[in-house]
Structure 1
Amino acid sequence: MEDKKIICRDCSNEFVFTTGEQEFYKEKGFDNEPVRCIDCRRAKKEQNNRR
């Protein structure tokens, strides 16, 4: 397993999906890779919490 570079769906910036993150996702049973960078994930989470 190696680090993967992914383009964020929201801001189009490139971010790295590290091997540690990939292992965490696998442990939790998540099938999909992240589509947003950490900043956009936080912003989306905050937006959802305000509702």
Structure 2
Amino acid sequence: MAQGLGISVRTVESHRHALMTLFQAHSTITLLREAERRGMLPLQPAWHRGGA
């Protein structure tokens, strides 16, 4: 993910941690479910749409 966005792995980890704290998520799956509930995820992943 970091390489695709042109940022460091540590930056991705920092943002994930901040979102987990904000959403009070104790696991990555809980974070993803909360993001989905809030409409923050695309309906289809990029690989399914034919993107990179």
TM superposition score normalised by structure 1: 0.33
Whose strand fraction is larger, Structure 1's or Structure 2's?
1
Q: TM-score, normalised by structure 2?
A: 0.33
Q: Which has more helix, going by share of residues? A: 2
Q: Which has the higher contact order (CA 8 A, sep 6+)?
A: 1
